[in-house]
Structure 1
Amino acid sequence: MTGVPLKHQRISRILAREIRSGRRPAGEQLPGEHALAQRFGVSRTTVRAALAELSEEGLITTRTGKGSYVLFDGGPLDDGLGRPCALVLQGVETRVRTLAVRETHDSGLADELALEKNAFVCVERTRELVADGTVVSYERSYLPPLSVIRELPAQGLGQDSLAEVLLRAGLRPDHGEQRVSGRRIDAHEAELLRRTPGDWFLDTRRTSRAADGSFVEHVVSLLDPDHFQLTLAFG
């Protein structure tokens, strides 16, 4: 009959309402196929079709051998700096580990950013899930070596975020650009991410500048596509 949803569509709509309402928070693992089949009185094939619809809508991600996890959290996927690639596990506890804070010189990066000086302070960090220790990102932040920032290699970040450090240094991101691609990680990156060389990750390059166009920050990130997604705002 026209207008009557198919079984898998009915299931996907019910689960979608539970996710969008916040009843199932971002990061939560959905019940397995067998449990969902019992709940709705359908076959596992029908459940798989429903999960596929939810995945196409960007509400869940399904990991082979692990199950399906909620992506949507009902809030805007943005960190305040206009990052089009945003961590979608908002509300899920994560921790950041600082691997290194050092002064460095990179003529290639300076040329790319049209900077006269090639000196930077580089902060290397990973982010992992508290629940199981899964590392979901590795990033290198390149900052201009202003007085406040040049103290970081000796003093460390402490409890401060990089955003707080930038503000103390008088650096306020106003605009910028970000490029997103995908590639396979090498052996060194795999060691940092606790993955296998050749695993596929999102590779992002983001440059932030102040209102007067001066350099604020350049961030190179490797993001686990199971936990990050590209979001675009327009209009």
Structure 2
Amino acid sequence: MSDPAARGKALPSLGGSPPRYQQLAQTLLNEIGSGRYPVGSQLPTEFELCEQFGVSRSTAREALKRLVQLGLVVRQARIGTTVKSTASVPGYRQLTADVADLHQYATDTTLVIEPGQTRLINATEAEMLEASAGETWLHLQGLRRATGEARPICHTELWLHPAFRAIQGIEGPLRGSVYGAIEQQFGEVVTSVEQEIRAVAIAPHLAEVLQVPRHSPGLWVCRKYRNHRDELIELAISVHPADRFSHTSILRREWAGDAPRDDKAPPRGRGA
């Protein structure tokens, strides 16, 4: 049964002139809000969405991913996509299956970067950056925000390899990834991202800018962006208040000789 109290609430709008997957996600959002898909019901499968809307499998998958990020549905293998709420949960939820999802996270949010400075790194910083003391790295920091959220999602500290310290156009509001700007301006390619997450007590100097009590719980997320030679080209450290961010990873196990699970799925193509 749908929740009568929740049905009267306006669901979030994805805004702008979105690509096909966001248009599909908005349609599903509206149908969940109208009660067509009440709490506990199943959304159409990816294959059914492809047939109903004339979209590719990747477009259907991305649309459902957005609903997961909003906290409205849960996806389970062999069960499907189940509606769990008709109102989105607070904060930002990041879903990561591959490096492209990190780019989507950067596109969905805005990082406001303060003017940076080149730093002659010391021995401690050199160890963190897998570099040599005395190298000159570009050091940046800023606050990341989500559309419609008054308070920032996190504070982010960035270190860019000396080869990219002359990067242009990333100060101020940046809707997109820093590593994407590196790729575009310098022809470098990020092939892997190493991610570490810890629970922390938020330090006083960050608590003030994040608008939380000192030493309140938070998540510390460190990402190391590497090229095909496994060299560190960017390091990003973000501190999130615990109630404003959650992270979901998808881990798939591949079996030798296994056929695809969805026998009805159309050939995989480019996203719309």
TM-score category of the 2 structures, normalised to the smaller one: 0.5 to 0.7
User: What residue is the counterpart of 1:163 in the other structure?
Assistant: 179
Gaps of 5+ in 2: 1-36, 46-62, 73-80, 254-272
Q: Return the letter of the residue paired with 1:156.
A: E
Matches within 5 A, 1:52-67: none
Check the 8 A contact 1:60/1:70 in 2, yes or no. no
Query: Which of 129, 132, 147 lines up with 2:146 in the alignment?
Result: 129
* Deviation sequence 1:59-108 (CA, Å, 0-9, x none): 879xxxxx9717899x953562676xx95xx99x6433223322123321
Deviation (angstroms), 1:132: 3.8
CA offsets, 1:13-69, max 9 Å, x none?
Answer: 952447898799467698xxxxxxxxxxxxxxxxxxxxxxxxxx99879xxxxx971
Corresponding position of 1:182? 199
Deviation at 1:233, TM superposition (A): 1.8
What's 1:149 paired with?
Answer: 165
Structure 1: runs of 5 or more not aligned: 1-12, 31-56, 62-66
TM-score (norm 1): 0.60
Cα separation, 2, equivalents of 1:203 and 1:133:
21
The count of corresponding residues between Structure 1 and Structure 2 is 184
Paired amino acid for 2:234: E
Conserved in 1, the CA contact under 8 Å of 2:202 and 2:217? yes
Q: Is residue 19–residue 25 contact of structure 1 (8 Å, CA) maintained in 2? A: no
Separation in structure 1 between the aligned mates of residue 182 and residue 84 of structure 2, nearest angstrom: 34
Instruction: Tell whether 2:221 aligns with 1:210.
Output: no
Is the CA contact 1:179–1:205 (under 8 Å) kept in the aligned structure 2?
Answer: yes
SS in 1 for 2:113: strand
| 1:217 maps to amino acid | E
2:189 is aligned with 1:172: yes
CA 233–172 in structure 1, closer or farther in 2 if over 3 Å, else same: same
Corresponding residue number in structure 2 for 1:228: 246
CA offset at residue 203 of structure 1? 0.5
CA contact 2:156–2:239 (8 Å) conserved in 1 = yes
C-alpha separation in 2, matches of 1:201 and 1:173: 28
In the alignment, which of 97, 108, 117 is matched to residue 102 of structure 1? 117
1:20, 1:125 → 2: CA distance?
40
The structure with higher relative contact order (CA 8 Å, sep 6+) is 2
> Which residue identity lines up with residue 235 of structure 2 in the other structure?
H
Pair 1:213–1:130, CA change in 2 (3 A):
closer
